[in-house]
Amino acid sequence: MKTVTRECHFKVYDNENELEPADAMLLQEAIKAVDNAYAPYSHFHVGAALQLSDGEIIHGSNQENSAYPSGLCAERVALFRAGAVNNSLRIRALAVTARTTEMVLNQPVNSCGACLQVMADFERRSGNQMRVILRGETGEIYVCDGIVNLMPLIFEFK
């Protein structure tokens, strides 16, 4: 038996003024995407914006459904939307944020495991790591390079 320790590395910024301009811009796009969330059940409105390596920006927002499991997270809406029209895309970065009527989200919103797995597959397919930028409505911003820093034990099927 042995104990294995995996480290996750991410940067924590106090506010968006500290971000690199390209990341601050992408976060603003994710904030805009929140307005298109359809979340009448959870009241948790999530926005995502991804930027391809050629600069194109693609938005996503969570889309809920009266048959609950049929809904989809904002991240996967953006990723599948991008993949549906370009199966060889390279993603530079993905920003995610959220808003709810219940409280002020003053901590980053972390993507769920299913979305992280989809992000990891996009990385593997393109051969390049993705930067992820996470923020709540306000407060600190987490930035990491590579999904392995958010989910160290990614499922891989080769």
Q: Which residues are catalytic?
A: 75
Rule CB under 6 A: which of 65-104 touch ligand THU?
Answer: 71, 73-75
Q: Does 132 contact ligand THU by CB under 6 A?
A: no
Identify which of 9, 19, 38, 7 has the alpha carbon closest to the alpha carbon of residue 146: 9
DSSP string, 27-53: HHHHHHHHTT-B-TTT-EEEEEEEEET
State the minimum distance, in angstroms, from the CB of residue 116 to ligand THU: 8
Query: Can you tell me whether residue 75 is helix, strand or coil?
Result: helix
- Residue 149 sits at φ, ψ, to 5 deg, of -80, -10
Q: Are 36 and 61 in contact (CB under 8 A)?
A: yes
Query: What whole-number distance in Å separates Cα of residue 29 and Cα of residue 8?
Result: 26
State the minimum distance, in angstroms, from the CB of residue 45 to ligand THU: 8
The tokens for 106 are 């003053």
Judged by CB under 6 A, the stretch of 16-24, 25-33, 38-46, 84-92 that binds ligand THU is 38-46
Residue from 95, 105, 111, 150 binding ligand THU (CB under 6 A): 111
Residue from 36, 42, 117, 149 binding ligand THU (CB under 6 A): 42
Rule CB under 6 A: which of 48-67 touch ligand THU?
Answer: 62, 64
Interface with ligand THU (CB under 6 A) = 39, 42, 44, 46, 62, 64, 71, 73-75, 111-112, 115
